[in-house]
Each structure stands twice: as C-alpha cells, then as structure tokens.
Chain A
C-alpha cells in the first residue's frame, strides 16, 4: 500500500547495491590503495615496503616534476582565459535562431566529440614541417617556417592551439544556455531607453551571467589541469620536456619507469590540486542556485 512504499526498508536499498559494489571496488578501494601505494616503495613483483612520505619528497624534489608543474600552470593560465573569452564571444555572436548561427554552433561544438587521438592526428598533419597546412600557408605569405612541434618555445603553444580547437564547444554551449535564461524584460527596458549595445553588454548581459563565467572557468581549470593525450601524442612532452604536463609525468613514472610508489605520490599531488578546484566549483554552483532562486 501507499504508506508501505514510502516506509524505510532495507530491501529498498537493494536497488543501489549493484552500483555501490562497483563504486566501492573500482573507485573507493583504488583511491585508498593508491594513497597506500604512495607511502610505499613498490617493486615490480608486488612487494611493498612502507617508507612514509619519501615518495612525495622524491617527486617534489624532482626537477622534471617541477618543470611539468610549470608547463601545466602556464598551459592552464593561457588556455583557460582563451577558452572563456572565445566561448563567450561565440555565444554572444551566435545567440540567434537563424540557420547560419545554428550551423556555426554545430561547427564549433562538433570538434568536442572527437577523440584525442583524432584531434592530435589532425593537428599533427596540419603542423608537419614543409608539407603541413601551416607550412603551406607560411610559404604562401613568404614567412619564415616554424617547427611548431619541435621548437621549445612553440611546442606547448601548438598543443594549446589543438586543445582550444578541441574544447571550445562546451564553454560556448554553457554560455548560450546562460544567455537564454536572462529575463527578457531587462532588455526591453534598455531598448526603450535606447541604450548602446556596449552598455547593454557591460551593464545587463555580463552581470547576469557572472556566475556562469566563474563556473565555466573552473570547469576548464579542472579539465585543462588533466592535459595528457594532446601533449603525449603531438610532442611526446618535448623538446627537452618543454611541453610535458603533470599527467604525462605520472604516466611516465608509473607506467614506463614502473616506479609505482612515486607515480602514485605524484597522482595524489595532482588530485589535491584538482580537488581544490572542484570544491571551488561546488561552492560557486551552490551559490549560483541561491542567487538564481
């Protein structure tokens, strides 16, 4: 009967058992096990010896890790503002119901659905010296050719270009969704007053989507901190480590050098960084609900 349906029962919990068992074995346990591994010296045959925080000390004093952190921070610092500003611009330009706008929205979002291997394959072919699309364009204008993927100053930049190309769809879509939610009467008042477009943008539009701008920025920070595939496939971190991000460092230590304890320690450090950003995201999104309501 109706009351019994609402009553608390152990048997109702059976519905969550399948998911929870997967959740515990494949997420919670490995999380704890990863922390344990980071406190041990692990040899390849599965033996562990507790060494406390030594792995963390090794990671933090490794100059290659320092370089990877520096690369990642620069990458995040440049790619995230680019994605936010470009995404906002596209959303403002394409916030219309015309066929042309809807086609362009489709174009800008389409790249997001490709896998990192396809994206990097495309961009590597674009950047090949002599024969790539970029080389042809440079030749056409008579510019000095650049080794986009093989020059220290350019490798991380080229990875960033491919990343922005790949990721621009989501910020644009989130901004479009936010623009749709701005109350129309705000604009009606502005139209009656004959306010200039620039004032409408800075006084009405941007303040109304402030929380979305924050949210998009934080989502992108979390995502771009996890940069891996683009760098690994396009430049393999080179030349001279100039485009090696943190995740690639973890991959190399954990899965190429098989120093599992040290790799686990590096991944916990990254987790801590991402967790801080994610907490910020949660905090902003809950505050957003309050202000929206």
Chain B
C-alpha cells in the first residue's frame, strides 16, 4: 500500500500537469531560441532561406556589427543614464516620503497619504498629452532630464517604502531618540540601513520599468541621438527585414535584452517580490 501523502504539493499538483507545463515551456522558449539562432547566422545566407538556422556555420559577426554601429551604443548609454537616474530619484524621494508617512506626525499627514494613494490609480494615458505640452514649455524634450522626470511622480515607490518603514520595530528609533538624535539622523543613520533589502527591491523594479519604458521616450526623444535603446530598436524595426537583415535584427534584440536578463538572473527573488508584492499587499 502506498503511504499517505498529505503535502499540499502532492494534492494540488501531479506529474502529468508538470509535463504539460514543460511542453508549454518549450513553446515559450521556441521564439527566443529562433531569434538566437538567427542572430548567429550570416545575413546573406538567411536571405536564401531561414531554414539555414538549423545548420552550420554560425558566426558572431552580427554582434560585432552592433558594437561597431555607433548609434546602438549611444542608445544603450542613454538607456543607462535614464534608468540609473530614475532609479536613484525614485529611491531618494520614496524613502524620504515613506519614512515620514510611516513614522512621523505632521499636519495633514493622513490626508496627504490618501491623496498620494489616489495617484496610483492615474494611468499614464490620462496625463501624457498635458505632460508633453508642459515639457515643451520648458524645452525639456530630447534631454535626459526630460526622460527621467515623469516617472519620478509614480506613487508606487512611496506606497512600498511606507509599508517597509512601518514594518521596522518602533523600539529601534525610540532607542535612538533617547540619545537626542535629530529626526534626519535617525532616518539616515538608523533606519535607512535597515531598509536596504527594500531599496534593492524597489530599485530593481524601477530600473526595469525605466529600461523598458516605451510611450514617453517615443514622444519625448524625437532626435535619434537621444533615443533610448527601447526606442532605437523600435525605429530600426520600421525598415524591417529589408535593410539590415534578420540576423542583425535578432542580434539587436538579444543585445538590448542582455542588461535586463542579467538583472533578472542575479536578482530574481527581489523582482518577484516587487512585482507580486505590490499587487498582493
């Protein structure tokens, strides 16, 4: 007789389901494998027929061409500047505000917090036309600052950091207060170091969002030397397949996703917490 197995895993899941999922996983990976295959082929050979993907020889020529093409490298740098700038901006603003909302008393604290929460419900579409006009007034289009600023207003970070500061035991800052430490020093020296895991979570999440942002850079960065990588790749899609060849396009896709894939591999746990935590909490 088989031993009783009470584990929830055993009762909710079985081998057959797993194999169906594994099959779906193959379908999931097939397009990526296809692109990687194309990126490793000579473009002239692909023109005769893409079945060539399944046979030798392979080459790294397409990747070499990306590194030689100055525009792709420039787009890459723009993306780095914008994503890093936005990440630091969001972390700074959200930590300061999150600390005050969670730990300090000041007039209208609750009202302000509720107003900020309402900000969570405002989608980009509702503000993008007005923002575009405003940035016109101040000549901020086609600048890095212009690309960084809009997402700093996102209420998500403040919401998340407030939750994290609330979770720190109150005894910690109360002990610091007995030494007559200033409010700012308590924030900076005592509490902030304790939020490092939270900073990592929010930081990675913001970085990925900034890196992948599409609509705002599409309308704000109209000069090709100010494109972010996301927009640059989109712009080279319009003259699809004819000019540069499928292999080169495939290599661009792989190259452009390398940074986020690396971030994903190293910080998978944080990403999952940030993405699912925000929705479930």
Chain A residues in the interface with B (C-beta under 8 A) = 1-2, 5-13, 15-16, 18-20, 22-23, 25-31, 33-34, 37, 46, 86, 89-90, 92-97, 100-101, 104, 106-118, 120-126, 128, 131-133, 136, 165, 168-170, 173-174, 177-179, 182, 184, 187-188, 190-192, 197, 200-201, 205, 212, 215, 219, 222, 226, 228-229, 233, 247, 250-251, 254-255, 260, 263-264, 267-268, 270-271, 274-275, 278-279, 282
Contact = CB atoms under 8 A, between A and B. Distances in A.
B191 to A, nearest CB: 12
Given A95-B13, A117-B230, A174-B276, A10 B107 contact: yes
A191 B106 contact: no
B106 A9 contact: yes
Nearest to B48: A131
B5 A191 contact: yes
Interface stretch (B22-30, B55-63, B64-72, B194-202): B22-30
B177 A1 contact: yes
B149 interface: yes
Contact of B4 (A33, A121, A191): A191
Interface in B1-58: 4-14, 17-18, 20-22, 24-25, 28-32, 34-35, 38, 46, 49-51
Nearest to A123: B31
A177 B276 contact: yes
Given A12-B105, A112-B275, A226 B31 contact: no
B278 to A, nearest CB: 10
Contacts of B104: 5, 9, 12-13, 15
Contacts of B99: 15
B6 A191 contact: yes
A247 to B, nearest CB: 6
A131 B219 contact: no
Contacts of A184: 6-8
Given A18-B97, A30-B127, A122-B253, A104 B106 contact: no
Contact of B106 (A8, A22, A128, A254): A8
B28 A136 contact: no
B21 A90 contact: yes
B134 A30 contact: yes
A130 to B, nearest CB: 8
By size class, the interface of chain B is: 35 or more
A282 B231 CA distance: 33
Given A16-B100, A229-B214, A108 B153 contact: no
A121 B237 contact: yes
B12 A200 contact: yes
B272 A109 contact: yes
Contacts of B108: 13
B280 A121 contact: no
19 contacts: A2-B178, A9-B105, A18-B97, A19-B158, A26-B131, A27-B155, A29-B130, A30-B127, A31-B126, A93-B18, A100-B22, A104-B22, A117-B256, A118-B233, A122-B35, A182-B8, A187-B6, A254-B128, A254-B132
B276 A275 contact: no
A34 B130 contact: yes
Nearest to B100: A15
Q: Most chain-B Cβ atoms within 10 A of its Cβ — which of A6, A26, A179?
A: A26
A15 B34 CA distance: 51
Interface string B104-125: 1111110010001001111111
B246 interface: yes
A287 B2 CA distance: 42
B172 interface: no
Nearest to A255: B219
Contact of B152 (A22, A93, A94, A191): A22
A25 B153 CA distance: 8
B11 A125 contact: no
Contacts of A131: 46, 49-50, 246
B128 A267 contact: yes
A174 to B, nearest CB: 5
B143 interface: no
Contacts of A201: 12
Nearest to B252: A121
Contacts of A255: 132, 219
Nearest to B51: A136
Interface in B168-227: 173-174, 177-178, 180, 183, 186-187, 208, 211-215, 219
B279 A174 contact: yes
A40 to B, nearest CB: 12
B92 interface: yes
B145 interface: no
Contact of A26 (B12, B152, B271): B152
A250 B234 contact: no
